[in-house]
Structure 1
Amino acid sequence: MNSMVTIRVSEFPVQRRRRRFGRIVWNKLVSWAQLYRTRRQLLELTDRELDDLNLTLEAARREGCRPFWDSSR
Structure 2
Amino acid sequence: EDRPEITLPPRKKLGIAFGPRVRQDMDEIYTRLDDEQTERQLLAGLLNMLFRDRRAHAHTRLLMEAEARMSR
What is the TM-score of this pair, normalised by structure 1?
0.50
How many pairs align?
Answer: 49
The structure whose RCO (Cα within 8 Å, separation 6+) is larger is 1
Compare the two structures and name the one with the higher helix fraction: 2
Q: How many angstroms does 1:8 deviate by? A: 5.7
Aligned to 1:42: 48
* Distance in structure 2 (CA, Å) of the matches to 1:46 and 1:3: 70
* Distance in structure 2 (CA, Å) of the matches to 1:43 and 1:17: 39
* Distance in structure 1 (CA, Å) of the matches to 2:14 and 2:8: 18
Stretches of structure 2 that go unaligned for 5 or more consecutive residues are 1-6, 57-72
From the CA coordinates, give the structure whose radius of gyration is larger: 2
Give the fraction of aligned pairs with identical amino acids, expressed as a percent: 6
What is the TM-score of this pair, normalised by structure 2?
0.51
Stretches of structure 1 that go unaligned for 5 or more consecutive residues are 50-56, 58-73
Over the aligned positions, Cα root-mean-square deviation in angstroms equals 3.0
